[in-house]
Amino acid sequence: MEAVVQVADGRATVQVRSEVGAAAAFWCGDPTGVGREHHVEWTVEEDVAWGGNTRPATSFSPGVYEAEGCRIVFRGRLGLTGDGGAVLEVAGTCILFDLADPPPSTAVDGTWVEISVERSSVSLWPYLL
């Protein structure tokens, strides 16, 4: 993980790399942790909107990448929780989402999808195993 830029509110944007891709996102850990290897939790403050920011994947392998300059795309298996939420499993990492109205059909539960979100809605939180 390497620092990319410091924003006005003091948060750092970092470039994170994993076995399934790379993207720049807000770092929510200790500033001294930038530049070191971490396990991170991805937090996304954008809802799953089927047909909007979420669509069926054309590739059936997990991925994380940047698109259109200011968006991050997550590719994985979508699980609907039944309580207005969803979990995207990306290479063993689970990312929690809320569902926008109208919610997707239950037929998409367990399918491969791509969710494209604004980079500004994505934060990384370090944790210890």
Q: What is the pLDDT of residues 1-57, one digit of tens each?
A: 455 555 556 678 899 999 999 999 999 988 877 788 888 999 999 999 999 999 999
Q: Please report which residue ranges of 52-115 form alpha helices under DSSP H.
A: none
Domain ranges of the chain: 2-127
Rounded Cα–Cα distance for residues 121 and 38 (Å): 20
Question: How much is the pLDDT for 104?
Answer: 95
Question: How much is the pLDDT for 24?
Answer: 93
Compute CA 22 distance to the chain's CA centroid, rounded to the nearest angstrom: 11
CB 125 within 8 A of CB 95: no
Q: What is the pTM of this model?
A: 0.90
In Å, what is the CA distance from 66 to each residue of 1, 10, 109? Answer: 15, 23, 25
